[in-house]
Amino acid sequence: MDISVIGAGGIGSNFVRSVAPAISTGSLVESLGGANLMIFDSDSVEEKNLRLGQRFGHGDLGLSKVEAIKRSILAFEGDLLSVVAYEHDIRGAGDIQKSDVVVVCVDNMHARRIVHSLDVPWLDLRCSGDGYVAIDHRVEASVVSSLSNDSVHSHSCQLEGWESGFLQAGFLAAAAHGYQWLIAIMRQLSGFERAVLPEPRSTSVTFGTLGKLPMSEEM
């Protein structure tokens, strides 16, 4: 099973480091023939990333983010899990054409729209302050489009004034949603009929669920 993760910043670094142990062993990943985890990001680790809740340490400074994450989960690689670090951004669908599942964790509308066009299960996670928005392949196409044009706020994860703890909570909450979503998708693909995906929604750690996104009737 080929899993692509686009973006290795606040959401992506927390998501990958939490999910790697879960997909490195066990009957679920065995039933899918193992997992090939592909991580895409062109950025390098900077000092500011360490204080903004991204899962890097001082020893990672200067490394590409994807290489730093790959090193951090090296112990979980084995017969059932391989990790590939791509030090570039997604420019077209061909970059991720092998993917069975895609998780978007990057603040880039172009990359998001590329993923939205794919005919595979996908999840688009966006963080703002202590909250996040989770959009996936089940959401109505018109809603996905309205949330992904260039006039929409970029949902940057580095909002002024949120650096003192709330921002990190948003990263962790978004990563937890992504973790649950990926495991549920894997269960569905393995044939487990009762697997249930978390609903697409906007959520705040402080205020709870702010709203649910309408899903296509076909789903």
User: Is residue 21 in a domain?
Assistant: yes
User: Is residue 201 in a domain?
Assistant: yes
At 182, which CATH number? 3.40.50.720
Rg of the Cα trace of the chain? 16
* pLDDT value of position 147: 92
CA distance 22 to 179: 9
Structural contact between residues 19 and 115, judged by C-beta atoms closer than 8 angstroms? no
* pLDDT value of position 158: 45
User: Is residue 204 in a domain?
Assistant: yes
User: Is residue 219 in a domain?
Assistant: no
Task: Please enumerate in sequence order all residues whose Cβ is within 8 A of that of 145, keeping only pairs 6 or more positions apart, or say none.
Answer: 116
CB-based burial label for 99 (10 Å; 0-12, 13-18, 19+): buried
Pairing of strands 122-128, 131-136: antiparallel
Structural contact between residues 112 and 104, judged by C-beta atoms closer than 8 angstroms? yes
Structural contact between residues 46 and 14, judged by C-beta atoms closer than 8 angstroms? no
User: Is residue 196 in a domain?
Assistant: yes
* pLDDT value of position 51: 80
Tokens of 62: 């200067």
Pairing of strands 35-40, 2-6: parallel
User: Is residue 217 in a domain?
Assistant: no
The torsion angle over the Cα atoms of residues 91, 152, 158 and 44, rounded to 10 degrees, is 10
**Amino acid identity of 83?**
V
Q: Read off the pTM.
A: 0.91
CA distance 199 to 180: 11
Question: What 3-state class would DSSP assign to 3?
Answer: strand
Tell me the pLDDT of the chain (219 aa) as tens digits. Answer: 999 999 999 999 999 999 999 999 999 999 999 999 999 999 999 998 888 778 999 999 999 999 999 999 999 999 999 999 999 999 888 888 789 999 999 989 999 999 999 999 999 999 988 899 999 999 999 999 999 887 655 444 444 554 556 778 899 999 999 999 999 999 999 999 889 999 999 999 988 999 999 999 755
Range of the domain at 176: 2-212
**Domains: count for the chain:** 1
